[in-house]
Structure 1
Amino acid sequence: MRIPVVDSNRQPLMPTTPARARKWIQSGKAVKRWSDCGQFYVQLTIVPSGYATQDIVIGIDPGKKYSGIGVVSAKFTLYTAHLVLPFQTVRDRMDNRRLMRRGRRGRRINRKIEFSKRAHRQKRFANRRQGKLAPSIRANRQLELRIVSELCKIYPVIEIRYEYVRADVDKSSGRKKARSGKGFSPVMVGQVWMLKQLGQFAPVVKIEGYQTSLTRSHLGLTKNKVDKSKAEFNTHAVDSVAIAATSFVEYRKYHTANMDGANWFGSVTITPASFFVIRRPPYSRRQLHLMVPARGGVRRKYGGSTTRHGLRKGDLVNSPKGIGFVSGDTEKQISVSDANWKRLGQIASSKVTLIRRSTGLIVAC
């Protein structure tokens, strides 16, 4: 295991050992820090001995509901994460929004007058040809970009490797489908946009699925293909490590005077590393009122990130029930939940103390 290091100007340096980091902190040469993606690191208070760095690569295994991210050097695995993507949540909320909008338009129309004089909205034109990403896809990719941006602040990343899903065309229908034969995948949507965004942090290399599989087998890593929803290293993070490792090992052909063949070239060492499960806080966004009227036709306000006690939803707090996240409030109490958003209890606001403001991420080790 290695601890990330940054200098006094927050420029990332090569990670160090935990023992050396402890000595720096005890002697006052460094101070403790935590990144928004859950990684502990140290910031030097003195001038570093040097700025030489080794190659560090980020690997991304994108998915529809879950993604994996890994940071690898030639000698160490530095960071692994399992991302719980907001795809289904955003899609359900967009469906509800569309349903409510149609209901409002229907109630606005006076059906007692003839059709040509009704208050229908004007006909739309070609508004589906703007090249926009669907909100659910954009939310997925933005969560991945958020984690990559945090990692690039504490690691001297020289390259980002991204698993690219290629599409074939079905000759019978003319539609695109994934090469796995399982039909069109939402992972394929917005890949070009994602690569462009990643290019702002470091050079990007596209890796195909077969390369990930071959490298994973070569490194002796196993993948859980039965239940990919499990928040463990062997579901998605293992592929991200294999993707990053392709920067250091490669299976390629060779030619000599006596024979032709193919073999693995290069070396990389896979070591134990910190593993994190990251998701967005699942609280509801601010709405003017509830979707369904209450008794008497009155709707109360609903959602939002603020509370009546000076805290925000997603803030990390300390309470008699333990350390957790603010998930709601009443007139005199605050709801505190764990990293899985399971309520620990409703606690008097006077007994809850703030540890850290909300970062927009829920991180569990």
Structure 2
Amino acid sequence: MIRVPVLSPKGKPLMPAKASRVRRWLKAGKAKVVHNDLGIFQVQLTQPPSGEETQDIVAGIDPGKLFTGIAIQSAKTTLFLAHLKLVFKNVTKRMNQRAMMRRGRRGRRINRKLPFDQRSHRQHRFNNRRGNKIPPSIRANKQLALRVIQELSRVYPFQDIVVEVIKARGDKGFSPAMVGQYWQIEQLEQAGYTVHTQEGWHTSTLRQYLGLPKSKNKAEESPAAHAVDGICLAASQFMRYRQIKGRSGTFNGGIAVTPCQFAVISRPPICRRQLHLMIPSKGGLRRNYGGTVTRHSGLRKGDYVKAEKAGITYYGYVSGDTKTKVSVSDANWKRLGQFTAKKVQLLQRNTGLVSTVGLSNLTTLNFDRLNCREVEVSGTV
């Protein structure tokens, strides 16, 4: 049975409730639907609850270079699963473009026909050669995971987080998944969470013991790709390994893996504003490029909107605009169409996140294919 997140009248996260109970609350007016930046369906009580006691809930993070899996788990149920599409490649590409454009500007500014001591070389204003910097691509990966965890803590009552750590062979500075892992742990601890670490071999052992499926396709947008490891990481706080004398060990304790909400989360691929694209424009005429501003008041790029065309209603994100129309794209940033601005209705401002929420039946190896489908968040459960 799927559990629905519940908030107190003051906005404090409480223990999630069964969908049937939430349905009765909504029908009786004891609760109302509230929205969050992750698109998770949740309700808020309109009357003070009978109690605010909570059970032990743990979050598991399986970090990676291109994808990250997150799970929210209690001993009795799986509450939430997420598959994060990281921005490593996109940030790396933009940093290379920035360096190339900087070299081009310096080349145009410096008159190389002059002697070296007469050229307009500017001295550095500060020591920018520190050796303990986090690369921007890795920092962006870790900041996305931190943002999602902070949003989840406003929905589910948890403080304990288990993060998987790896030990790369050879030079540790060339492993993107390892470079920023301790920086991420430090950021989580500074945010007030209790962080535990676990190595990958322990996660694999727990996954085999629980009988959970694991996809070989790392890019697959399903719970079996990375979120399943998040479940095993969180399960380590409810299960302990015990060695039996003269025999192999076993695990004490256990968890129940149940259907839950599953989300694929990414950053909207919005380009930053550029006065000139890659080279200066001729005649001093600059073309508007990048940024979130559109020519239609009340709409920005990344806003979640409702658009209508030919009697068909579409839900998506603002991805561009023309003089009279607005481009709307889906969660994968594929254009759904161009719509007249008057027929585009704003539903939610740009939160910096793009989320597709569905249902997951990640239970045991008996499931050959995961039953995942997209659902539209509405006013009922």
Per the TM superposition, whether the score is higher than 0.5 is yes
Cα 1:332–1:158 shift into 2, 3 Å: same
Partner of 2:172: 176
Partner of 1:262: 249
Q: Following TM superposition, where does structure 1 have runs of at least 4 consecutive aligned residues deviating by more than 6 angstroms? A: none
What percentage of residue pairs aligned between the two structures are identical? 52
Partner of 2:374: none
Instruction: Kindly state the Cα deviation for residue 158 of structure 1 after the two structures are TM-superposed.
Output: 3.4
Is residue 281–residue 361 contact of structure 1 (8 Å, CA) maintained in 2? yes
Mapping 1:347-362, distance limit 5 Å: 347-362=339-354
Instruction: Kindly state the Cα deviation for residue 287 of structure 1 after the two structures are TM-superposed.
Output: 1.5
Partner of 2:329: 337
Q: Give the letter for the 1:230 counterpart.
A: E
Whole-angstrom CA distance in 2 between matches of 1:34 and 1:204 = 28
Partner of 1:209: 200
Q: Give the letter for the 2:207 counterpart.
A: R
Whole-angstrom CA distance in 1 between matches of 2:16 and 2:261 = 14
Deviates further, 187-196 or 324-333 = 187-196
Residue 272 (structure 1) aligned to one of 226, 235, 259: 259
Is residue 55–residue 158 contact of structure 1 (8 Å, CA) maintained in 2? no
Whole-angstrom CA distance in 2 between matches of 1:159 and 1:123 = 44
Whole-angstrom CA distance in 1 between matches of 2:239 and 2:79 = 17
Is residue 172–residue 178 contact of structure 2 (8 Å, CA) maintained in 1? no
1:320 to 2:299 alignment = no
Partner of 2:291: 304
Whole-angstrom CA distance in 2 between matches of 1:356 and 1:4 = 20
Mapping 1:1-365, distance limit 5 Å: 1-122=2-123, 127-129=128-130, 131-168=132-169, 170=170, 175-176=171-172, 184-199=174-189, 200-225=191-216, 227-254=217-244, 262-293=249-280, 298-310=285-297, 311-321=299-309, 322-365=314-357
SS for the counterpart of 1:331 is: coil
Q: Give the letter for the 1:186 counterpart.
A: P
Cα 1:242–1:294 shift into 2, 3 Å: same
Instruction: Kindly state the Cα deviation for residue 333 of structure 1 after the two structures are TM-superposed.
Output: 0.7
Q: Give the letter for the 1:89 counterpart.
A: N
Cα 1:80–1:302 shift into 2, 3 Å: same
The root-mean-square deviation of aligned C-alpha atoms, in Å, is: 1.8
Q: Give the letter for the 2:157 counterpart.
A: P
Whole-angstrom CA distance in 2 between matches of 1:162 and 1:149 = 15
Q: Give the letter for the 1:212 counterpart.
A: T
Cα 1:167–1:124 shift into 2, 3 Å: farther
Whole-angstrom CA distance in 2 between matches of 1:201 and 1:6 = 20
SS for the counterpart of 2:257 is: coil
Gaps spanning 5+ residues in structure 1: where?
A: 178-183
SS for the counterpart of 1:235 is: coil
Gaps spanning 5+ residues in structure 2: where?
A: 358-381
Whole-angstrom CA distance in 1 between matches of 2:336 and 2:218 = 27
Q: Give the letter for the 1:328 counterpart.
A: G
SS for the counterpart of 2:249 is: strand
Deviations 1:70-127 (A, max 9, x none): 0000011110010000111111111101100110001101122212211123268853
Partner of 2:361: none
Deviations 1:327-362 (A, max 9, x none): 011111100111110011111101111111111111
Whole-angstrom CA distance in 1 between matches of 2:344 and 2:72 = 36
Q: Give the letter for the 2:159 counterpart.
A: I
Instruction: Kindly state the Cα deviation for residue 42 of structure 1 after the two structures are TM-superposed.
Output: 1.0
Q: Give the letter for the 1:206 counterpart.
A: T
Is residue 87–residue 136 contact of structure 1 (8 Å, CA) maintained in 2? yes
SS for the counterpart of 1:240 is: helix
